Structure 1
Amino acid sequence: MPTVTKKRYFELLRQSYKGAAAARVVGVSTSCGSLWFLDAGGMLVPDPGPVSPRFLTQDDRIAIADGVQAKQSVKQIAAAIGKTFQSVYREIKRNSKPDGRYQPWWAHNQALLRRKRPNTERIRASRPLRALVREKLSDKWSPRQISRFLQRTYPAQRDMRACPETIYRALFAGLLGRKPGKLRTGRTRRKPHRRGVPHLNKIKNMTLLAQRPLEVNERRTLGHWEGDLIIGRGQGSAIGTLVERVTRYIRLIHLPHGWKAPQVRNTLITQTADFPEALRQSLTWDQGREMTLHEDIAALTGFWIYFCDPHSPWQRGTNENANGLLRQYFPKGSDLSPHTARDLRQVAQELNRRPRLVLGDRTPVEAMRTGARPRPGN
């Protein structure tokens, strides 16, 4: 039977036609229409229409079924309906019948059933949960940290637990107050990261990362740091950041007189003078011009200084992660010069007292005090 005939039959059923009347209109027997209805799952969910262009419609699913029957490839089917082949692949895998057949009306019913959300959002329904999540967000905890905290604190109370995505959705829906300033990143949506263009090496006598001892990669010995600069508006100000690889302990370097090589050298020497000798093992930096005088720094601090390859921020990923956390305090494009050394100490103290998953939910302060190692696999 032509697909258009079946389509018209199900359209009439959704318009409240009786099965026999719909069968007469399309020109088939009542028993034939009944078999179609049973093959579609024995029910028809009201279709309010697509809520977004990214959702598949009934016509899309009919086209997918026709393509599957004609043994077309997933990419050919996707091109015909204007969707990605990943969407078509997921649709066929998710909404096929138990016997493996892809039946478009069955598939559309299943999709409509999943789209219905009869339950009230957990954060909307629970005032104590909402208040607790709002409190932790105000303390600049991430949704993942909040979710783990709820799981540990309320193991037997499901109404007091929420996954990270639930917290994000509640935040963006306005259930937790105004969005700006609630997430510590300051963002209201996820943004893709783009890579730039590597620059030529202009620093003499560098020791590249490939020459760093392999034991540093194992993160078992304290005293190996990663460093970088956070640059302010118009490149007129900067803050130095140091992160210890094992404990994720952060030290911020105040640069009140600029961030050229002589200033960076002088401040690194003076502001790391209180480090115990055991914590002065190595320092990994990118190939920024501020480290031109790295030999002076190494001689006067005791650090072995290693440089990443050009445009390879993942080679000091611990520091990149820390810089992302710091952007909640020092947004991109802002002037960093008003921040005093006392301000930087307060920010570092707050971050060092925040629990980290990689440390088994201990804080960097606790890890530095006990010499605790990260859990295996993190």
Structure 2
Amino acid sequence: MSQGSTLTAACDAVGVNRRTGRRWRQATGGRIPLPEAERSGRYLSLEERLQIADLHLGGTGVRAIAALVGRSAATISRELARGGSKTGPQARTKYAPYAAQKQAELRGRRPKASKFDHPELAFLVQKKLCLKWSPEQISDHLSVVFPDRQEMRVSPEAIYQALYEGGRGDLRGDLHQHLRTGRAIRRPRRPAAKNSGKIPDMTMISERPAEVEDRAVPGHWEGDLILGSHCRSAIATLVERQTRFTMLVHLPGDHGAITVRDGLLAAIKSLPAHLVKTLTWDQGTELAQHRQITLATTMAIYFCDPHSPWQRGTNENTNGLLRQYFPKGTDLSVHSPERLLEVATELNNRPRKTLGGSTPAQAMQRLLSEPEKPIVATTG
């Protein structure tokens, strides 16, 4: 069978019936051993495991074993941890190469059972996806709600794979549309190019106070525009760096410098004074009126370096989340201020891993010292 024969042909060649041949095959774990020349070099072979066992028994260190076997030290460390004794006074000191090989073969069997064969888990994941929670948020939430139930725990990658494969178990196949990208397949990321123009009197991000970087002090914001089809419509976004609280600014008619200035002024003036410190923006010409904004609000405005979106990474991430509500290539002018308020409020009530599972609304409530009053976003 390792040479390509079927089970029936192999049984005929050896001179046994199919039942005996099947029993022999099951005794080897159900896998057909390939000739050594055809075995993938990605996985440790039995010969390598025997060599690891001999060197480990002789007291050789992990890095030295890795150099002699020709594998990375991380691979050797994981192999010794998986194949070592888990109990007793010599825990993780013994290494059984034949048992480790058997375990590797069992782990490699396909197909594997899906986590989403569990109806309760599939239902909860499906429910949160419909609320536009990310797979990572869902995974973290389940680990908190079900700390002692392993069957109710699932990794973000397992959720992504189930969605990209059209659903698994009791998980519907159309749930990929609730992901931020809405894609049914993975695609490589491409850097987004953005035209920028010269803005007079810019203060660059290199001059921004150091307190902004560590997020220890609230009141520092990042902003940008998300554009509609053919760049004819836009929505301005503001994100507070410490709490990740989001405000959406309605831009009626156009997104020129005057309209953006007026929209930002209305949004900024709705904030308490201690939450109005700095604003970081890219070099888009829509902020050409930045000096007028600073004079009217005392909010200092800093500009990122060209083609450096990571310098306002919080806002970039938020804009990606907002694309679930405002897809690229659509007309954003159809969304009213009330709709923007609804979207911002829903986004601010989604838990964030970076906030320890709290929501931006809860973080903002703590800053305002008004826990009894629910926080909603303000639109300009």
TM-score (norm 1): 0.72
- Separation of aligned partners in 1, 2:252 and 2:347: 22
Match of 1:162 in 2: 154
Structure 1 residues 312 and 127, CA, compared in 2 at 3 Å: closer, same or farther?
A: same
Match of 1:53 in 2: none
Match of 1:349 in 2: 345
Match of 2:109 in 1: 116
Any residues of structure 2 matched to 1:227-376 within 5 Å, and which? 227-371=223-367
Please report how far the alpha carbon of residue 197 of structure 1 lies from its aligned counterpart in structure 2 after TM superposition: 5.6
Post-superposition Cα deviations, 1:189-232, rounded to whole Å, max 9, x if no partner, equal 33222235675651111000000011110101110000000000
Structure 1 residues 157 and 197, CA, compared in 2 at 3 Å: closer, same or farther?
A: closer
- Separation of aligned partners in 2, 1:141 and 1:367: 18
Any residues of structure 2 matched to 1:1-378 within 5 Å, and which? 16=10, 43=28, 45-47=30-32, 58=34, 62=37, 88=41, 90-91=42-43, 96-100=48-52, 113-117=106-110, 120-124=113-117, 126-171=118-163, 172-174=165-167, 175-177=170-172, 178-195=174-191, 201-371=197-367
Q: Which moved more, 1:134-143 or 1:203-212?
A: 134-143
Residue identity in the other structure for 1:114: R
| Residues 226, 283 of structure 1: 8 Å contact kept | yes
Residue identity in the other structure for 1:163: S
Post-superposition Cα deviations, 1:287-338, rounded to whole Å, max 9, x if no partner, equal 0010111111111122100000001000000000000100000011111011
How many residues were matched structurally? Answer: 310
DSSP-derived class of the 1:334 partner = coil
| Residues 284, 306 of structure 1: 8 Å contact kept | yes
DSSP-derived class of the 2:286 partner = helix
- Separation of aligned partners in 2, 1:134 and 1:226: 32
Please report how far the alpha carbon of residue 13 of structure 1 lies from its aligned counterpart in structure 2 after TM superposition: 9.7
Structure 1 residues 95 and 206, CA, compared in 2 at 3 Å: closer, same or farther?
A: farther
- Separation of aligned partners in 2, 1:196 and 1:281: 29
Structure 1 residues 197 and 144, CA, compared in 2 at 3 Å: closer, same or farther?
A: closer
| Residues 134, 180 of structure 2: 8 Å contact kept | yes
- Separation of aligned partners in 1, 2:176 and 2:285: 35
Please report how far the alpha carbon of residue 169 of structure 1 lies from its aligned counterpart in structure 2 after TM superposition: 2.8
DSSP-derived class of the 1:354 partner = coil
Please report how far the alpha carbon of residue 109 of structure 1 lies from its aligned counterpart in structure 2 after TM superposition: 8.8
- Separation of aligned partners in 2, 1:144 and 1:251: 23
- Separation of aligned partners in 1, 2:253 and 2:166: 44
Structure 1 residues 198 and 145, CA, compared in 2 at 3 Å: closer, same or farther?
A: closer
- Separation of aligned partners in 1, 2:227 and 2:300: 24
Q: Which moved more, 1:91-100 or 1:182-191?
A: 91-100
| Residues 196, 283 of structure 2: 8 Å contact kept | no
Please report how far the alpha carbon of residue 187 of structure 1 lies from its aligned counterpart in structure 2 after TM superposition: 2.0
Post-superposition Cα deviations, 1:228-274, rounded to whole Å, max 9, x if no partner, equal 00000011100000000000000001001210111111111123221
Post-superposition Cα deviations, 1:122-170, rounded to whole Å, max 9, x if no partner, equal 212x212211111111111111111111111111222222222222233
| Residues 139, 155 of structure 2: 8 Å contact kept | yes
- Separation of aligned partners in 2, 1:321 and 1:200: 20
Residue identity in the other structure for 2:282: D
DSSP-derived class of the 2:242 partner = coil
Structure 1 residues 94 and 337, CA, compared in 2 at 3 Å: closer, same or farther?
A: farther
- Separation of aligned partners in 2, 1:220 and 1:249: 15
Q: Which moved more, 1:257-266 or 1:11-20?
A: 11-20
Post-superposition Cα deviations, 1:72-116, rounded to whole Å, max 9, x if no partner, equal xxxxxxxxxxxxxxx95x4458993331579xxx99998764331
Match of 1:84 in 2: none
DSSP-derived class of the 2:183 partner = coil
| Residues 196, 285 of structure 2: 8 Å contact kept | no
- Separation of aligned partners in 2, 1:149 and 1:117: 29
| Residues 126, 175 of structure 2: 8 Å contact kept | no
Match of 1:35 in 2: none
Q: Which moved more, 1:234-243 or 1:164-173?
A: 164-173
Q: Which moved more, 1:275-284 or 1:194-203?
A: 194-203
- Where do 5+ consecutive residues of structure 2 fail to align? 16-26, 53-68, 71-97, 369-380
| Residues 219, 246 of structure 1: 8 Å contact kept | yes
| Residues 216, 224 of structure 1: 8 Å contact kept | yes
Identity of aligned residues (%): 44
Task: Calculate the aligned-residue CA RMSD, in Å.
Answer: 3.4
| Residues 178, 324 of structure 2: 8 Å contact kept | no
- Separation of aligned partners in 1, 2:336 and 2:50: 65
